[in-house]
Amino acid sequence: MMSLNISANNVCFLSLKNIFKYKLHSKYIHKSVVARKITPQEVTAILSSKEYLYEFEQNCGSIKAYETNQLESNVPIEDVRAEAKCLLTSGMLFGVFDGHAGASCSHVIAKRLFDYICVSLLPKPLLMEYLQYDSKLVEMRNETFHLVGELKSIYAESLKSYVLKLINERQEHQFKMKDALEKSFMQLDEDIMAEARLNVSGDVDNLTLNVGLSGSVACVAHIDGPHLHVASAGDCLAVVGVYTDDDTWVAKVMVEEHNTENLNELNRILSEHPVNEKDTVIKYDRLLGQLAPLRAFGDLRYKWSREMLSEYIPKLGENIIPPFYYTPPYLTAKPQVAHYHLQPRDKFLVLATDGLWDFMTPLQVVRLVGEHMSGKVTLTPLKLPRKNMKLKEINNLLLQRRDSLKRKPVDANACTHLIRNALGGTEYGVEHAKLSQLLNLPKNISRSFRDDITITIVYFNTEYLRHRQPE
């Protein structure tokens, strides 16, 4: 999550996206900033270093494949991605997490949130069975980091307490996915706040406190057959790419960005505080003049009471209490939840952190992925889709392939294709000089020009959706 504070003798403050638009034009990057121009081969090596692709067995469900990629700007990167198969229920989970004030919170959320979601989906008998046998809840894919052992035991106890709470609360009333997703987000955030105050050994005490002090937004998709649920807290986006009957692409945005550019969100947070705070709750397009997202995990500085924060002044300094801090909490991790019933025309889902959306609109992203899907067929040898095809059918196939050659992508991974176009795109195509500049910026100033970018694209199985009986 980019965090820019721009002020000079009380001159006007720009919105975050306007700052990006101003700074990202290549002419504003001074030549002395970049040591040398990197080659196209080096650009491709950088862009593709974190690519990942997973393809499912044929006819196994609504998901055909998914691919991911990341490009860091912060050191270490504050974005995280996660994908997992639910083991005690059906369905897959995909998430992107954008941290701020460090990477601690986003890493912890990526490791824990899927477990909280999974137990929230279980009926009471399975919850009791889970406690008895300590069953594994999810099968994570492509993990790139692990939590330290001391934290694992603390987090396991918190999850167990949540399961017991669910068992005591669970009634026989009708299950609602929206409630389950909201509860899982809110409970994990509540546990992070409680763990930050634990009196444990020094190193672990610092770790749990650091997780609570840092913050992270999150956008998670749960896909089970034709049912897509998205839960989001913050300014990541989830967008479905729809291919219409007239052969055009449409971007269906599943959730809103929770920042000051969203009038509904702005009105929500103002309504939760006294009228005499209307000029201080949001200042300079930020929460209390400091935080860009208006929903997030962690960030205890915007959630704890003033009395609780005061206890930490000797350790963390007086800045632990934000200015204009009168009626906390000012921040919530409660997600916006959307449900969508997938149709055959729905081809893919894009989950991405705001590092991508700062450069591109949802429709631009969907069109690029759609064009990539068409051009990608030229990267593999031609295979006839069935035996005993007529010469006319083969000829039509070859003509289609020739047309696709015009859109042949440089990158096999569509996430990489998006990053390349986001950083180097111009009205005339991808410009290598622009890409080279943005990728070769010194680490200490890179954040001023671009944020971390994390993208996951989930491809839907059209044949499954076409033959799936309506529910």
Q: Which residue has the higher pLDDT, 200 or 207?
A: 207
Q: In the predicted model, is pLDDT for residue 94 greater than 80?
A: yes
pLDDT in tens, 285-342: 999 999 999 999 999 999 999 999 999 999 999 999 999 999 999 999 999 999 999 9
Q: Cβ–Cβ contacts within 10 Å for residue 182, how many?
A: 19
Higher per-residue confidence, 150 vs 48: 48
Q: Which range among 98-112, 343-357, 360-374, 434-448 shows the weakest confidence by mean pLDDT?
A: 434-448
Which of 71-85, 182-196, 236-250, 378-392 is predicted with the least confidence, judged by mean pLDDT? 378-392
CA dihedral angle for residue 420, residue 423, residue 425, residue 431, rounded to 10 degrees: -80
- Which tokens sit at 440? 């070769």
Query: Is residue 409 situated within a structural domain?
Result: no
pLDDT digits (tens, 9 = 90+) for 358-390: 999 999 999 999 999 987 544 556 667 777 888
Q: What is the distance between the alpha carbons of residues 327 and 329, in angstroms, rounded to a whole number?
A: 6
CA distances from 414 to 248, 356, 417, 461 (A): 18, 13, 5, 17
How much is the pLDDT for 30? 53
Share of the chain above pLDDT 90, in %: 72
8 Å CB contact between 79 and 355? yes
Closest-CA residue to 62 (of 469, 465, 353): 465
Domain that holds residue 248: 48-358+450-465
pLDDT at 225: 95
Q: What is the mean pLDDT of residues 441-455?
A: 92
Give the C-alpha distances (Å, rounded to integers) separating 448 from 20, 23, 46, 130, 288. Answer: 8, 8, 19, 47, 22
Task: Give the pair of three-digit tokens for residue 232.
Answer: 């989001």
pLDDT of residue 282: 97
Instruction: Note whether residue 159 is domain-resident.
Output: yes
Instruction: Indicate if the pLDDT at residue 20 is higher than 60.
Output: no
158 — pLDDT class (breaks 50, 70, 90): very high
Distance from C-alpha of 69 to C-alpha of 454, rounded to nearest angstrom: 6
> How long, in residues, is the chain?
471
Tell me what the mean pLDDT of segment 73-101 comes to: 96
Specify the pLDDT at position 37: 80
CATH assignment at residue 342: 3.60.40.10
Q: How confident is the model at residue 205 (pLDDT cuts 50, 70, 90)?
A: low
What's CA 319's distance to the chain center, in Å? 29
pLDDT given at position 395: 82
User: Residue 17: is its pLDDT beyond 60?
Assistant: no
Mean pLDDT of 443-458: 93
Q: Do 199 and 205 contact (CB within 8 A), yes or no?
A: yes
> What pLDDT is recorded for position 426?
86
Neighbours of 271 (CB within 10 A): 9
Within a domain: residue 369? no
Question: What integer is the mean pLDDT of 419-426?
Answer: 94
Check: CB of residue 69 under 8 Å from CB of residue 413: yes
Residue 235 falls inside a structural domain: yes
Instruction: Decide if 420 is inside a domain.
Output: no
pTM: 0.87
d(CA 192, CA 190): 5
**Mean residue pLDDT across the chain:** 88
Q: 92 vs 13, which has greater pLDDT?
A: 92
pLDDT greater than 60 at residue 28:
no
Question: Is pLDDT at 204 greater than 80 in this prediction?
Answer: no
Q: Which residue has the higher pLDDT, 405 or 234?
A: 234
Closest to 214 (Cα-Cα) out of 117, 74, 327: 74
Residue 13 has pLDDT above 90, yes or no: no
The mean pLDDT of 160-177, rounded to a whole number, is 87
Query: From the CB of residue 213, how many other CB atoms can be counted at a distance below 10 Å?
Result: 20
pLDDT at residue 386, rounded to an integer = 73
pLDDT at residue number 407:
58
What pLDDT was estimated at residue 374? Answer: 82
HEC states along the chain?
CCCCCCCCCCCCCCCHHHHHHHHHCHHHCCHHHCCCCCCHHHHHHHHCCCCEEEECCCCCCCEEEEEEEEECCCCCCCEEEEEEEECCCCCEEEEEEEEECCCHHHHHHHHHHHHHHHHHHCCHHHHHHHHHHCCCCEEEECCCCCCCHHHHHHHHHHHHHHHHHHHHHCCCCCCCHHHHHHHHHHHHHHHHHHHCCCCCCHHHHHHHHHHHHCEEEEEEEEEECCEEEEEEECCCEEEEEEECCCCCEEEEECCCCCCCCCHHHHHHHHHCCCHHHCCCCEECCEECCCECCCECEECHHHCCCHHHHHCCHHHHCHHHCCCCCCCCCCCECCCEEEEEECCCCEEEEEEECHHHHCCCCHHHHHHHHHHHHHHHHHHCCCCCCCCCCCHHHHHHHHHHHHHHHCCCCCCCCHHHHHHHHHHHEECCEECHHHHHHHHCCCHHHHCCCCCCEEEEEEEECHHHHHHCCCC
Q: Is residue 365 part of a domain?
A: no
Which of the four pLDDT bands, split at 50, 70 and 90, describes residue 56? very high
Q: What gap in Å lies between CA 71 and CA 51, rounded to an integer?
A: 10
Q: Higher confidence at residue 343 or residue 389?
A: 343
* pLDDT for the residue 382: 61
Q: Which residue has the higher pLDDT, 471 or 126?
A: 126
Residues 76, 462: Cα–Cα separation, whole Å: 38
The two tokens of residue 129 are 């069975």
263 Cβ contact partners less than 8 Å away, ≥ 6 residues apart: none
**Residue 470: inside a domain:** no
Query: Has residue 308 been placed in a domain?
Result: yes
Q: What is each CA distance from 253 to 11, 29, 338, 339, in whole angstroms?
A: 35, 32, 10, 12
**Domain total in the chain:** 1
- 373/202: higher pLDDT: 373
Residue with tokens 């919170």: 105
Reported as a pLDDT band with limits 50, 70 and 90, residue 202 is low
For residue 81, give both structure tokens.
């991605």
Mean pLDDT of 408-427: 92
